[in-house]
Amino acid sequence: MIRYVPHTAIDKAAWDARLEAAGNALWYGRSATLDAASPGWDALVDEASGAQLAIPWRRKFGIRYAYQPFLIQQLGPFTPSPSPQDTTRFLQAWPDRFRYADIYLCTGDAHASVPRVKLSEQVNLVRPLDASIEVLRAGYSVNHKRSLKKAAQAGATYAARVPVEEVIAFLESSEQFVRWGIDPPRREALRRILRAAQADGTGFGCGVYEGRTLVAAAFFTRWKGRLTFLKGLASERGRDLRAMHLLIDRTIADHAGQGLVLDLAGSNDAQLARFYEGFGAVRSVYLRALVNRLPPLIGRMKP
């Protein structure tokens, strides 16, 4: 039976043990990751099957609502034997106290019928790194191969490890963060998540320099055979140098042949999806669930 568990009653050792046993386990579902991303998160747990789903939540206008934390792609359900029906079961057990939710879940049945829940598919892009770098590079697009030659000719240099504080400072000072409207709460969440991941050994920063100037930076996590591109960008000069092409290529080279899967975190943006596909990434899907069980007038306002 699926039961609602408030944060104070979550046994985090048991939570992490169930996640370790899940066939679709992701770094996003670790208790340490969730603590950094959304302190005080609640959960739905089915102890009989070992399945679980995190519920990050806030309160607005006196209404509790579930939301998707910054940098966290999927909240579950994580289960030992994943099936398309898992998301449906957990949404059917959705607690009444959270009458509104806009969250992202693992792959499931996007056509399932759950009262006052709208499901839609989201794009993720992944690249198995189970071959040599020569074989992997052979699968790059012609444009990506050309861009890598340009980066090499420009003298851009790759650094396999960049201190987390330098990565954070680079990201937060970028014009992209301003353009994307990354507000103070999300900036603070980014700091907590990246610092926690580096501290527990599951995350690392890397970058590309022109001389001593950082022109591209990214932060990756590595956990249970999955290398996840958590966040990264290039400055205007870095874009001219094709620095992000170089950064991803060198990260692939450093992990080639190790049986990992590179998770580029995907995008519904067609241009960004094409960029990732240029490295040989293929599309997979996960789900967005919009739950709206508010009274009609309030439901139109939504949190």
What is the structure's pLDDT at 268?
A: 81
What is the structure's pLDDT at 109?
A: 85
Q: Are 41 and 56 in contact (CB under 8 A)?
A: yes
Is the domain of 115 the same as that of 140?
Answer: no
Residue type at 118 in one-letter notation: K
What is the structure's pLDDT at 13?
A: 98
pTM of the full structure: 0.94
Could you tell me the CATH number of the domain that includes residue 39? 3.40.630
- Look at residue 158 and tell me if it is in a domain: yes
Q: Collect all residues with Cβ–Cβ distance below 8 Å to 34 and sequence separation of at least 6.
A: 28, 41, 54, 56, 69, 72
Q: Is 15 helix (H, G, I), strand (E, B) or coil?
A: helix
What is the structure's pLDDT at 301?
A: 53
Looking up tokens 């939301």 gives: 67
Is the domain of 40 the same as that of 84?
Answer: yes
- Look at residue 270 and tell me if it is in a domain: no
For the segment 69-82, what is each residue's pLDDT rounded down to a tens digit?
999 999 999 999 99
For the segment 191-242, what is each residue's pLDDT rounded down to a tens digit?
999 999 999 999 999 999 999 999 999 999 999 999 999 999 999 999 999 9
What is the structure's pLDDT at 73?
A: 97
Is the domain of 203 the same as that of 240?
Answer: yes
Residue 176 is encoded by which pair of tokens?
């992209």
Is the domain of 101 the same as that of 79?
Answer: yes
Q: Which residues constitute the domain of residue 76?
A: 3-122+285-301
**Total tally of structural domains belonging to the chain:** 2
Low-confidence stretches of the chain (pLDDT < 50) are none
